[in-house]
Chains A and B, each alone.
Chain A
Amino acid sequence: MGYLLHLKRLVAVTAMVWFALAIALGGHAPLAHAQSTNTVNHAFPELGFSVDLPTQWAPASNATFNQLAQQTQSPHDSEVLAGYFLRENNLNAEIQVFYDDDYSGFPQDFSVLEGELFKGNPGMTFRKKSAAAILKIDDPNEGFSEVAALIYGNNRVVRLFVSVPANGPQTAKQVTNTFINGFQYDPGYRYSDVEEPGMGLELLANILGYGFYIFFGLGILLVGYVGGRFNEGRHWASIKKREKQHLHLPCVTSKLKHVTTPEQQQQVESAYMVAGSVVLSDDKFKKTLASIRSIFGGNIASYETIVDRARREALLRMKAQAIGADMIVNTRIETSCINMSRGGKNDVPTTIEVLAFGTAVSFSANAARSATPQQASTATHNTPETITLEPSSVAAPTSSPSTVSPGSSPLAAPNHTADITDTSATEDTLLGDQLPYTAPPNNTASGSIDFNNISIPTKQNSLFLD
Chain B
Amino acid sequence: MAGQHYGDINGIVLTNVESVPGKQVTQHYGLVSGSNVRAKHIGSDMMAGLKNLVGGEIQGYTKLLDETRQESISRMVQQAQQLGANAVVNVRFSTSSVAAGAAELYVYGTAVRVE
Mark A residues whose CB is within 8 Å of B. 4, 220, 223-224, 226-228, 230-232, 235, 255-256, 265-284, 286, 306, 313, 317-318, 320-323, 329-330, 332, 334, 336, 338-340, 342, 349, 351, 353, 355, 357-361
Contact = CB atoms under 8 A, between A and B. Distances in A.
Interface residues of B, number: 43
Contacts of B20: 271
Given A235-B57, A271-B15, A353-B62, 4 more contacts: A276-B4, A283-B56, A339-B97, A340-B48
Contact of A361 (B21, B49, B51, B58): B21
A342 B100 contact: yes
A362 B18 CA distance: 17
Contacts, number: 166
Contacts of B58: 279-281, 351
B16 A357 contact: yes
Given A227-B55, A280-B57, A317 B22 contact: no
B93 A357 contact: yes
Contacts of B6: 272-275
Interface of B: 1-8, 13-18, 20-23, 45, 48-59, 61-62, 65-66, 69, 91, 93, 95, 97, 100-101, 103
Contacts of B61: 279, 338, 351, 353
A270 B22 contact: yes
Contacts of A272: 5-8, 13-15
A220 B18 CA distance: 50
Contacts of A232: 55-56
By CB atoms of chain A within 10 A, which of B2, B4, B51, B55 has the most? B55
Given A268-B22, A276-B2, A336-B95, A255 B17 contact: yes
B11 to A, nearest CB: 12
Contacts of A322: 5
A332 B93 CA distance: 10
Contacts of B54: 4, 223-224, 226-228, 230-231, 283-284
Interface centre among A235, A266, A273 (most CB of B within 10 A): A273
A3 to B, nearest CB: 9
A228 B55 contact: yes
B87 to A, nearest CB: 9
B15 A277 contact: no
Contacts of B45: 340
Contacts of A359: 15-17, 21
Nearest to A266: B22
> Which has the most chain A C-beta neighbours within 10 Å: B14, B18, B50, B53?
B53
Nearest to A271: B21
B7 A270 contact: yes
B54 to A, nearest CB: 3
B16 A358 contact: yes
30 contacts: A4-B50, A224-B55, A227-B53, A227-B56, A228-B55, A230-B54, A265-B21, A271-B23, A273-B91, A275-B5, A276-B4, A279-B57, A279-B59, A280-B56, A281-B51, A282-B55, A318-B3, A320-B3, A322-B5, A323-B5, A330-B16, A332-B16, A334-B95, A339-B97, A340-B101, A342-B100, A351-B48, A353-B62, A357-B16, A361-B21
Name, among B3, B14, B49, the residue most crowded by chain A CB atoms within 10 Å (CB to CB). Answer: B3
A55 B104 CA distance: 57
